[in-house]
Amino acid sequence: MIFKGGFLAACSLLFFQLSTAKPMIVAHRGASFDAPENTLPAFKLAWKQKADAIEGDFLLTKDNQIVCIHDKTTKRFCQQDLIVAETILKDLKALDVGSWKSKKYAQTQIPTIGEVFATIPKGKKIFVEVKCGPEIIPPLISEIKMSDLEPDQIILICFKAEVIREFKQKMPEFKAFWLSSFEKENFWKPSLKTVLSTLKNCNADGLDSQHTIPAEFSNAVLEAGFEWHAWTVNDVGTAKRLAKRGIYSITTDRPKLIGLGLGKKPSCGI
């Protein structure tokens, strides 16, 4: 009986710690509300705004370099409409992808993944969203090995389960989350059954989803032993509701606002 009571007490303490833990604040494409998304100014500002992690989108160039950009073309950010996969790094670096946001960001370049890695302070993390297929895995592994980052600082996220599966096969010590958007007509798609089977089959460590999924889904993911993360949350009320549901991280364009709203104390040394 003494052992049973001690065990129950330990479980209650663990549950209390998990239920009251504050989720990580992940800066979506950097502090993208204030600075041009997926650029070094946005990532550096995210650290100043006390983000726990940054999230960036990555694609391969024609010369097999990994660059940080969301779209497959450059049209949204500048006058030149170049296809990233058909353009060499040198030509992409010649583009100004900051002026669209503000004159003070004029001549901001598309960064390489190595340049983004170099901004990450000790103890902070990056969510690397792969926007292409498994062909990026070999050069990504090379970049990871060349960086000074620890395995727990790099998390891969992708909508393609095959990318998650291949990365986990080759780099099992790193976490990887399957990304999924959801739609609801008469019922939610993908179904909860599909979500859980996909996570298991690709050896993912968790689900990174829209924040609008029902509690039934997030609870089932957590109860199955996976982590649950969500995007993109820019209001404090929603962030507080998600924190009560046991979410591991909240991705936001406004890391300072959401961090302060959740009562996270400013960190030191940055």
Q: Higher model confidence: residue 213 or residue 265?
A: 213
Given a cut of 50, is residue 268 above it in pLDDT?
Answer: no
Q: Which of 3-17, 92-106, 180-194, 230-244 is predicted least confidently?
A: 3-17
Q: Give DSSP secondary structure letters for 146-197.
A: HS---GGGEEEEES-HHHHHHHHHH-TTSEEEEEE--EESSSEES-HHHHHH
- Tell me what pLDDT residue 209 has: 98
Task: Domain ranges for the chain, please list them.
Answer: 26-261
pTM for this entry: 0.91
Q: Terminus-to-terminus CA distance in the chain, angstroms? A: 49
Query: Rounded mean pLDDT of 146-155?
Result: 98
What contacts 198, CB < 8 A, 6 or more positions away? Answer: 161, 178, 180, 190, 204
- Tell me what pLDDT residue 4 has: 43
CATH number given to 26-261 = 3.20.20.190
Query: Rounded mean pLDDT of 144-152?
Result: 98
Burial of 265 (C-beta count, 10 Å sphere; 0-12/13-18/19+): exposed
- Tell me what pLDDT residue 169 has: 98
